[in-house]
Amino acid sequence: MSSKIFFIGGIHGVGKSTICKEICRELNLEYLSASQLLKWNELNKNPQNKKVDNILLTQNNLIIGLRNNTQNDKNYLLDGHYCLLNKTNMIEAIPLDTFIQINPINLNIILGNIGEISKRLEDRDKKIYPVELLQKFQNYELFHAKQISKELNINLNIGLPNDYDEIIKTIYIKLTKP
């Protein structure tokens, strides 16, 4: 990809979409949602179901969606995941190759309070996820984000739902550098 893509990951319900929309307004970036790009609602009969049957297929769809929906010399903020829950409720890492193809110039992750995330998912999706699973999911999301960061030699910025100023600063610096 030759467009500039800033990536923000985090588990379901952490508040990525809300944060991304705020950052996009502040920094004049175009917001892209991985779920929309890979057409999750077409792949999954129940959009509230966060379990993925075929992670490789969804990631291939994401890359195709990015290619079809981005333009050169434009700046985008992509919200997505470093890991997903597969159909057996196991946490599965997004392959490094997906990130190589996304070619992000910036990596970020939002971490949140698991109790708040659990409540948000229950309210939003009408589904209860065990708190232990969500904590394990977030821990592995962070672990894998650090691995991706190391492999791609791109710093990883960590933010919270109420404190993502460092992410904004880092993106702003990348945007204003020639």
CATH number for the domain that contains residue 119: 3.40.50.300
User: Looking at residue 57, what is its pLDDT?
Assistant: 81
Say how many C-beta atoms besides its own lie within 10 A of residue 176's C-beta: 8
Question: Number of folded domains in the chain?
Answer: 1
Helices 131-152 and 114-125, axial angle in degrees (round to 10): 110
> Two tokens at 14?
């952490």
User: Looking at residue 61, what is its pLDDT?
Assistant: 85
Is the Cβ–Cβ distance between 20 and 79 less than 8 Å?
A: yes
User: Looking at residue 41, what is its pLDDT?
Assistant: 44
Query: Where are any strands of DSSP class E within the chain?
Result: 4-9, 30-33, 51-52, 75-80, 83-86, 91-93, 106-110, 156-159
User: Looking at residue 72, what is its pLDDT?
Assistant: 86
Residue segments in the chain with a per-residue pLDDT below the cut of 70: 1-3, 39-53
pLDDT in tens, 130-164: 999 999 999 999 999 999 999 999 999 999 999 99
Q: Structural domain of residue 151, as residue ranges?
A: 4-176
User: Looking at residue 48, what is its pLDDT?
Assistant: 52
The pTM (predicted TM-score) of the whole model is: 0.88
Residue 7 CA: distances (Å) to CA of 48, 67, 122, 170:
23, 15, 26, 12
User: Looking at residue 39, what is its pLDDT?
Assistant: 55
Indicate if the alpha-carbon torsion angle 93, 62, 154, 113 is positive or negative: negative
User: Looking at residue 87, what is its pLDDT?
Assistant: 81
